């Protein structure tokens, strides 16, 4: 079942990427969302086909890229968060110091993830629920700090966007993702909880498309 789910996730992220590039095609910092979507297509696709590739150097080397993409792409959601506020015309987001702060925050999270997780990471094959993937040989004992700080940025921006413009979906997606990832779900599956991430990305794509249409009509 998990193999099927990961193929479904891969197709869904690819569809979101194509949808976003076709209907959310105003290029600015919000377009960093494309990188995150590409990384998720790669991540879920590789997990889906892992057992067909089999253990060995090919899958191991491709799996290293999963972690590097995560380290470089996921923190850009901080700049995306700043961008949606700036595009909504929220005054404080237009200040140069806020943009510089968001940029430094993003770079700091990239460095944090590389320093604490990715650089020098040893990965080992794991077979679970019919999947074969490479995972860290030393899994973290708690939630990844980088993901936690990104979630804070998304929730904060989503709340401001809702209060100032009435657009609630970014906040809903961010809260659902955060709560869904924190609460254990008694299901024999390694893939079900990834549905929360897909829901979040769907709301972020919807936010970009919504804003791009508004800006086009302005």
133, 6 contact by CB (below 8 A): no
98: left (phi over 0), alpha (psi -120 to 50) or beta: alpha
> What pLDDT, on a 0 to 100 scale, did the predictor assign at position 139?
73
Chain-centre distance for alpha carbon 10: 13
The model's confidence at residue 24, banded by pLDDT at 50, 70 and 90, is low
Query: Whole-angstrom Cα distance, residue 1 to residue 3?
Result: 5
pTM: 0.93
Question: What mean pLDDT, rounded, does the chain reach?
Answer: 92
Condensed to tens digits (0 to 9), the pLDDT of residues 25-38 reads: 778 999 999 999 99
Condensed to tens digits (0 to 9), the pLDDT of residues 165-215 reads: 999 999 999 999 998 877 766 666 767 788 999 999 999 999 999 999 988
Q: What is the DSSP letter of 139?
A: -
pLDDT at 98 over 60: yes
């Amino acid at each position: 079942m998990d193999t099927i789910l990961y193929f479904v996730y891969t197709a869904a992220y690819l569809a979101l990427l194509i949808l976003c590039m076709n209907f959310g095609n105003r290029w600015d910092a919000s377009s960093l969302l494309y990188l995150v979507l590409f990384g998720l297509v790669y991540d879920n696709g590789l997990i889906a086909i892992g057992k067909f590739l089999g253990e060995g150097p090919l899958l191991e080397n491709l799996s290293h890229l999963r972690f590097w993409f995560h380290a470089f792409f996921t923190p850009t959601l901080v700049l995306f968060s700043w961008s949606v506020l700036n595009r909504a015309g929220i005054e404080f987001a237009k200040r140069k110091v806020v943009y510089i702060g968001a940029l430094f925050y993003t770079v700091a999270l990239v460095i944090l993830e590389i320093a604490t997780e990715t650089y020098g990471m040893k990965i080992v094959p794991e077979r679970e629920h019919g999947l074969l993937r490479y995972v860290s040989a030393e899994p973290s004992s708690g939630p990844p700090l980088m993901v936690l700080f990104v979630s804070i940025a998304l929730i904060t921006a989503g709340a401001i966007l809702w209060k100032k413009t009435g657009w609630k979906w970014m906040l809903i997606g961010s809260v659902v993702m955060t709560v869904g990832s924190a609460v254990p779900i008694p299901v024999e599956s390694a893939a079900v909880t990834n549905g929360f991430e897909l829901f979040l990305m769907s709301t972020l794509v919807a936010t970009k498309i919504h804003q791009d249409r508004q800006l086009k009509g302005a």
